[in-house]
Amino acid sequence: MDRALLLGARGLRAFAFGFSAVLIGVHLERRGLSPGLIGLTLGIGLAAASLSGLVFAGLAARFGRRRALALAGLLMGLTGLDLAFADQPVLLVASGLTGMLGAASVDLGPFASVEQAVLAEAVPPAGRNLAFGRYSLTAGLFNAVGGLAAALASGAGGSAAFFLLYAAIGVVTAVLPLLMSPRVETSGRPAAFGKFRPLAGLAALFALDSLGGGFVANAVIAYWLHVRFGVGVQTLGPLFGAVAVLQAVSYEVSGRLSVRFGLINTMVFTHLPSNILLLLVPFSATLSWAIGLLLARFALSQMDVPARQAYVVSIVPPEERAGAVAMTGAVRGVAQSFGPVLAGLAIGAASFGLPFFAGGSLKVVYDIGLLAGFRNRRAEHER
């Protein structure tokens, strides 16, 4: 029952994040924000999402995981109300401060560290790789439906209605954790953070990867397609819905590959080809070529996500898992937050290829560094 409630909240949130990633750039433009301010809003949202994970890991240790997850849902509701009703630039930019903007990833936010710690303890170690694959699969499927649903938004009023729905979903995800049993709380000492020295090198590599990812966050790509090829939300919605379906399938494949070939190998040898494809996207002469390359890239690019999640929670003690996820997530998110700001400026200046060249190059360096530094260090359940 606890796992079903966890996945239910995960799915609803992913649905909302799916249409938010498609609509947020266009919605902010309709409300009068410049490309630079749109990039700033996305950057603030990414930074707040990552840093709030540290705060919520501490709150979960002190007040309980269920209450921490409920608070994250309320912040999501507040964000939706802001985007639905605000028309002043300062209020729209401030929508990212809650950490629940949902512009880039369903695995970044105040909820992520707590949820992943709960999941790691809800399944036997031998089944952890597949469990995280199914956790990501759930998000991917609902994220796809959200992306498809975004095609129904027409005009500023339509996108505002979607963000009202976003607020309502936030309230529902605040209620579901309160229905979980006390078993989801940690049975160890109430410590949020431990000794992060073993994670320092890994976190540094994650930061490099996320800085590159910030240049090509879904919301940035959606806005780039809108500016470069004149694509509207009626096309962007189905496109990112298809992207989410590909990613959902890849999560299940990732879980199986990691069981057979190991977590680090799965992370590197699925991620590296996707980044080469990313570098080719700005050379697309037509929308069809751009979409084809993006779909091929997205079929591979997220296979490292469940493997990374399972790896991080498997190299620290159980009571420190939320803190470990929060710390690595904070480093990733802060680094990622710079990408949309720079990408927004580059798009506004008609430097259309810069976000893809910068993002792809940084990610290739990350892949090489991860393989060189961690290929011989296995997770506890791989030894």
Higher-confidence residue of 337 and 25: namely 25
Name the token pair of 130.
Answer: 């597949």
Higher-confidence residue of 196 and 373: namely 373
Residue 227 belongs to what domain range?
2-382
pLDDT at 286 over 70: yes
pLDDT band at 187 (very low <50, low <70, confident <90, very high): low
Q: What pLDDT, on the 0 to 100 scale, is given for residue 188?
A: 57
Which residue stretches of 176-286 are H helix?
200-215, 218-229, 233-261, 263-280
pLDDT at 147 over 90: no
pLDDT at 327 over 70: yes
Residues making up the chain, counted from first to last: 383
Contacts of 248 (CB under 8 A, 6+ apart): 136, 137, 139, 140, 141, 143, 144
Q: What pLDDT, on the 0 to 100 scale, is given for residue 275?
A: 95
Q: What pLDDT, on the 0 to 100 scale, is given for residue 361?
A: 93
pLDDT at 190 over 60: no
Share of the chain above pLDDT 70, in %: 90
Q: What pLDDT, on the 0 to 100 scale, is given for residue 281?
A: 92
Residue pointed to by tokens 């959902």: 248
pLDDT at 338 over 90: no
* pTM of this structure: 0.72
pLDDT at 123 over 80: no
pLDDT at 191 over 90: no
Query: 64-106 pLDDT, tens per residue?
Result: 888 999 999 999 999 999 999 988 889 998 888 888 887 756 6
Query: 341-371 pLDDT, tens per residue?
Result: 776 666 665 467 788 888 899 999 999 999 9
**Max avg pLDDT among 41-55, 273-287, 311-325:** 273-287
Contacts of 370 (CB under 8 A, 6+ apart): 205, 264, 267, 268
- On whether the CB atoms of residues 311 and 199 are closer than 8 A, the answer is no
**Would you give the distance in Å from CA 10 to the centre of its chain?**
12
What's the per-residue H, E or C state across 165-176? HHHHHHHHHHHH
Cα–Cα distance measured from residue 47 to residue 332, given in angstroms and rounded to the nearest whole number: 9
What are the respective helix, strand and coil percentages of the chain, to the nearest 5? 85, 0, 15
Q: What is the mean pLDDT of residues 258-262?
A: 88
Least confident of 105-109, 145-149, 165-169, 181-185: 105-109
Least confident of 53-57, 287-291, 327-331, 340-344: 340-344
- On whether the CB atoms of residues 99 and 48 are closer than 8 A, the answer is yes
CB burial readout 71-93, b (16+ within 10 A) else e: bbbbbbbbbbbbbbebeebeebb
**Mean pLDDT for the chain overall:** 84
- On whether the CB atoms of residues 18 and 150 are closer than 8 A, the answer is yes
Contacts of 171 (CB under 8 A, 6+ apart): 73, 74, 77
CATH of the domain at 179: 1.20.1250.20
The tally of domains found in the chain comes to 1
DSSP structure class, residue 88: S
pLDDT at 250 over 60: yes
